[in-house]
Amino acid sequence: MNKSWRWLLKRRNVLFDWGTCHFKMKPFMGFVCAVMLFVVYKTTNLQYQQAELEAKLHPLYASQEVDEAWRNLVRLPRGIIHATSDLDLKPLWSTSRSKANVSSPRYLLAIPAGIKQKNNVDNMVQKFLPVNFTIVLFHYDGKVDEWLKFRWSNLAIHIVAQNQTKWWFAKRFLHPSIVSAYDYIFLWDEDLGVENFDPRSYLDIVKSEGFEISQPALDPNSTDIHHRITVRSKRNQFHRRIYEKRGSARCSNETEGPPCSGFVEGMAPVFSRSAWHCTWHLIQNDLVHGWGVDMKLGYCAQGDRTQNIGVVDSEYLVHQGIQTLGGASRKKRHIVDVRSQIRYQSTTELRKFLTRWEKAVEEDKKWVDPYKKTRWRLPRKMARIIG
């Protein structure tokens, strides 16, 4: 019995010496052991950071429901899983005339379209179709059959929802997993004149300059211009910032934030695939007018917003400033100015968005604002509007 205990004690000491890389080991073995421990530590730490990042970017993914969904998903063979989709139309049958291995369009144009603007939208679509664009029309007036007279109508995706905004449609139908097949997403209003715009030339400039978020400049004669940075400069092919000495929103070398630099407006933004992935998460599901989102787009520029966001001057638009949603209507024998109601709702949503942003910044202790030192102050006029 005593012999057995002595044997077990001796074996335990041997295992302890080898398992812990004790000083009795040779120096080389100790070095190998230290390297292995360091590699295990770094790998574990990297996995932890990756999981934490995914939880921050996709907070819903950490929910119990999604965990259950993933447990069900792993029952599928890995090679059969398709996590993304697109908006390409597929034929119901094959014919001898069908082209094999035709690549999917790499660009997407999405427009909120009312029938009153059919001719303007037609001009826009005619510009984009030859450049291998997929066209999506968001019909906010419920009218679709009236578009069938256009040859390209059967090539477009038609989505109908009565009296909804561009951002409402985008949040629900342009999920990053669905539009991941497209290199650039054009999310444009319907009241844009494209007589001086060439999609091919525009894309060439955006790619060469590395613009993750961009927009064509606006003709100075446009009906509706809100920010000086969007106005076309005849001397430049593109610009990233402006210098403005007039007004409350003065732009100088010390001003690095929007709308002096790193800024595009919500009427005609163009997003890279990565920038849209971030922007989609920034859009609030219930704040459908999208006021304030354009001031935060710099956080989705995949780096330095002063470099990765730009306005293209050589390919420019005319903003016609046509108010599409709402208008004067009769209700109980009284004329109701729906536009004023919409503006009031937009202002209310802007307050909510800014409040949510500040609350999110306060609660996320690990988040570091890359632009904290260059925070831009709202013009006095807008500050008065939002209180």
Q: pLDDT by residue (tens digit) across 24-51? A: 556 767 777 777 777 667 666 665 565 5
Q: For residue 340, how far is the Cα from the chain centroid?
A: 29
pLDDT (tens digit per residue) in 171-193: 999 999 999 999 999 999 999 99
What pLDDT is stored for residue 50 in this prediction?
A: 54
Name which of 268, 188, 261 is nearest 225 in CA terms. 268
Q: How far apart are CA 84 and CA 103, in angstroms?
A: 16
Reported confidence tier of residue 7, pLDDT bands at 50, 70, 90: very low
Reported confidence tier of residue 73, pLDDT bands at 50, 70, 90: confident
What pLDDT is stored for residue 248 in this prediction?
A: 62
Contact present, 175 and 254 (Cβ < 8 Å): no
- Under 8 Å CB-to-CB from 121, ≥6 apart: which residues? 111, 113, 137, 190
What pLDDT is stored for residue 4 in this prediction?
A: 52
What pLDDT is stored for residue 67 in this prediction?
A: 61
pLDDT at 65 over 90: no
Q: How far apart are CA 5 and CA 121, in angstroms?
A: 90
Contact present, 219 and 317 (Cβ < 8 Å): yes
What pLDDT is stored for residue 59 in this prediction?
A: 46
What pLDDT is stored for residue 57 in this prediction?
A: 46
What pLDDT is stored for residue 25 in this prediction?
A: 52
Please, is 259 exposed, middle or buried when counting C-beta atoms within 10 Å of its C-beta (0-12, 13-18, 19+)? buried
Domain ranges of the chain: 2-60, 107-319, 328-386
- Under 8 Å CB-to-CB from 386, ≥6 apart: which residues? 347, 350, 351, 354, 378
Contact present, 297 and 263 (Cβ < 8 Å): yes
For a pLDDT cut of 90, what percent of the chain falls above it? 56
pLDDT at 328 over 70: no
pLDDT (tens digit per residue) in 104-143: 558 999 999 999 999 999 999 999 999 999 999 999 999 9
Give pTM, 2 decimals: 0.76
Name which of 262, 234, 259 is nearest 247 in CA terms. 259
What pLDDT is stored for residue 16 in this prediction?
A: 44
- Cβ-count burial 281-307 (b if 16+ within 10 Å, e if not): eebbeebbbbbbbbbebbbbbbeebbe
For a pLDDT cut of 70, what percent of the chain falls above it? 73
- Under 8 Å CB-to-CB from 368, ≥6 apart: which residues? none
Long-range pairs of 52-59 with CB within 8 A, sequence gap ≥ 24? 56/364, 56/366, 57/281
What pLDDT is stored for residue 253 in this prediction?
A: 81
Which H helix or E strand runs over 214?
Answer: strand 213-218
pLDDT (tens digit per residue) in 338-359: 778 888 999 999 999 999 999 9
SS3 content of the chain, % helix, strand, coil (to 5): 45, 15, 40
DSSP state of 377: P
pLDDT (tens digit per residue) in 256-269: 889 999 999 999 99
Question: The domain 107-319 is classified under which CATH number: 2.90.10.10, 3.90.550.10, 3.30.420.10, 3.40.50.300?
Answer: 3.90.550.10
- Under 8 Å CB-to-CB from 179, ≥6 apart: which residues? 86, 87, 108, 185, 273, 276
What pLDDT is stored for residue 292 in this prediction?
A: 93
Report the SS3 class of residue 82.
Answer: coil
Place of tokens 């729906």: 338
Q: How far apart are CA 54 and CA 60, in angstroms?
A: 10
Please, what is the average pLDDT of the chain? 82
User: Lowest-pLDDT range, 8-22, 28-42, 162-176, 231-245?
Assistant: 8-22
Q: How far apart are CA 322 and CA 14, in angstroms?
A: 85
Name which of 342, 295, 304, 305 is nearest 323 in CA terms. 342
What pLDDT is stored for residue 47 in this prediction?
A: 57
pLDDT (tens digit per residue) in 84-101: 888 988 889 876 554 544
What pLDDT is stored for residue 386 in this prediction?
A: 46
Q: For residue 182, what are its two tokens?
A: 């497209």
User: Lowest-pLDDT range, 50-59, 65-74, 110-119, 356-365?
Assistant: 50-59
Number of H helices, E strands in the chain: 11, 11
